[in-house]
Amino acid sequence: MVLNENAPRTEGEATKAIEEQTSKLPSKLFLCAALSAMAVSLLLKCTGHYHKALFVGQWAAPFLILGTYNKIVKTTGHDQLHK
């Protein structure tokens, strides 16, 4: 399959819907969620719940990735092309 490199790149309808909803969330929400996950993980570790601490501690990275995606959508997402 040969793609036309000069054709404008557009997103699918599902991606547009996800980006529209995601862009409504403040970026600070994801940062706070990541910091909260780290704090809860530390608390669990200090209270001897090691497995739970590892489980909750692993949430920080996905929250930060989602926050990065959110910021990208707000600055260069599909809505920039349709304004």
Distance (Å, whole) CA 31 – CA 65:
10
Q: Tell me, yes or no, whether 52 lies in a domain.
A: yes
How many residues are there in the chain? Answer: 83
Domain that holds residue 65: 26-77
Contact 40, 56 (CB under 8 A): yes
Looking at residue 14, its pLDDT comes to 85
Residue 21 in any domain: the answer is no
CA–CA gap between residue 46 and residue 78 (Å, rounded)? 44
Q: What is the C-alpha to C-alpha distance for residues 24 and 58, in angstroms, rounded to an integer?
A: 25
Q: Is residue 51 part of a domain?
A: yes
Q: Is residue 5 part of a domain?
A: no
CA distance 9 to 15: 13
Alpha-carbon gap, residue 34 to 63, rounded angstroms: 5
Mean pLDDT of 60-72: 91
Looking at the structure of the chain, the number of domains it has is: 1
Q: What is this structure's pTM? A: 0.72
Assigned domain for 13 exists:
no
Each residue's pLDDT tens digit, 11-65: 678 888 888 888 888 889 999 999 999 999 999 999 999 999 999 999 999 999 9
